[in-house]
Structure 1
Amino acid sequence: MSITSLTGAMWPAILKLQHEAYAQVAPESLDVLKSKWLRSPDSCFVYQDGERLMGYLLAHAWGGESPPSLFKPLPERSENSYLFLHDLVVSQNAAGQGIGSAMTAHLINTAALLGCRHIRLVSIQYSNRFWQKMGFTPMATAVCSSYGLGAQLMQMDI
């Protein structure tokens, strides 16, 4: 099992995992997801067991207080104040194996190498406890209702 860079051939498996993972938030389109990868390919990767995709993580440069809107491709230009962890999905068949923690640790190391001082994310589907265990703290900034009930903006300082 290994964490590797995301490639264009992986999108069908990524879309399948996305549809499997989200119950409270509608899945985003391929174009929207690809816009995250194209903005910051060095901070987007997958977890594989041989040829089988077990999880993926999409993170990209972002700025400003509000997180990016869901269901819209990223704008061509934006402030690059921090890394925004847009999506972390682990296959239900691989739950509890530490894949999410390993991918988050890999992102933190990548962010440090890229010179980022902060990582932000929106915790959805009541995943706050996981993110707090990983070192993220809640922020007071409100998030758009499209993120679903219980959504919480969180940040980690690197």
Structure 2
Amino acid sequence: MSPDLRIRQLADGDWDALTALEAATYAPLGLSEGRAALQSRARVSPATCFVAESGERLAGYLLALPYPPHAHPRLTRAEQRPFVSRNLHLHDLAIAPPQRRRGLARLLLHHLTATATAHGYEQISLIAVGGSHPFWTARGFAPDHRAAAPGPDYGPDAVSMVRPLPARAGRATGVRRPVRHRPAAPHEVS
């Protein structure tokens, strides 16, 4: 891992590089969403969307948003509002080719897990695409047999997966507080 690598929240100036990386990663699989759909996911949950930088270059990104358990966003439909949910849906993760196989995806996932636990989420869900389910299985995710089928939007080998998060103080006692995220102000996400 590069010593100049850092993970931070997604910012307005990241969108050109992020959408280029998303298209390069997912267009060959027929899964590219487009900028508007991607931005809508970050807009409803800016606290759970991150980029990894190596120097001044985007090395990878992760977009996650609260979503009802056992459900998933439509791939090309923009999110209109945030959901109140104890489930955090890891919607998108991509690593730039020069940074792949260096542990950056695990580092982003670790950062998301810490953030999700701190915000009181109970689990992280995702749709494994492009044959990536072994990667996610190795990170503690299991098939979510109660989830709606991902459908053709996500490709023929898509697998709904879920991983519980460690209990946090307050949650272990049965106290349930709704998780709310404020929508991003127009200057935060374009």
* Alignment TM class, shorter chain as reference: over 0.9
SS of corresponding position for 2:29: coil
Q: 2:71 aligns with which of 57, 60, 66?
A: 66
TM-score by length of 1: 0.96
TM-score by length of 2: 0.80
Q: Distance in 2 between matches of 1:100 and 1:26?
A: 19
Q: 1:13 aligns with which of 9, 12, 17?
A: 17
Aligned pairs for 1:1-158 within 5 A: 1-22=5-26, 23-140=28-145, 141=147, 142-158=149-165
Q: Distance in 2 between matches of 1:38 and 1:77?
A: 9
Q: Distance in 2 between matches of 1:5 and 1:75?
A: 21
- Higher RCO, 1 vs 2 (CA within 8 Å, ≥6 residues apart): 2
Runs of 4+ in structure 1 displaced over 3 angstroms? none
Per-residue CA deviations over 1:5-26 (Å, capped at 9, x if unaligned) read: 1001100000111111112133
Once the 2 structures are TM-superposed, how far is the Cα of residue 76 of structure 1 from its aligned partner? 2.1
Is there any run of 5+ residues in structure 2 with no aligned partner, and where? 166-190
Q: Percent identity?
A: 31
Verify the 8 A CA contact 1:64 1:79 in the aligned structure 2. Answer: no
SS of corresponding position for 2:18: helix
SS of corresponding position for 2:79: coil
Is there any run of 5+ residues in structure 1 with no aligned partner, and where? none
Verify the 8 A CA contact 2:31 2:155 in the aligned structure 1. Answer: no
Calculate the aligned-residue CA RMSD, in Å: 1.1
Number of residue pairs matched by the alignment? 158
Q: Distance in 2 between matches of 1:25 and 1:106?
A: 28
Q: Which moved more, 1:57-66 or 1:122-131?
A: 57-66
Q: Which moved more, 1:60-69 or 1:38-47?
A: 60-69
Q: Distance in 1 between matches of 2:82 and 2:56?
A: 35
Aligned residue identity for 2:53? Q
Q: Distance in 1 between matches of 2:37 and 2:55?
A: 27
Q: Distance in 1 between matches of 2:109 and 2:103?
A: 10
Answer 1 or 2: which has greater strand percent. 1
Aligned residue identity for 2:22? Q
Q: Distance in 1 between matches of 2:72 and 2:126?
A: 8
Verify the 8 A CA contact 1:47 1:54 in the aligned structure 2. Answer: yes
Answer 1 or 2: which has greater helix percent. 1
Q: Distance in 2 between matches of 1:77 and 1:41?
A: 11
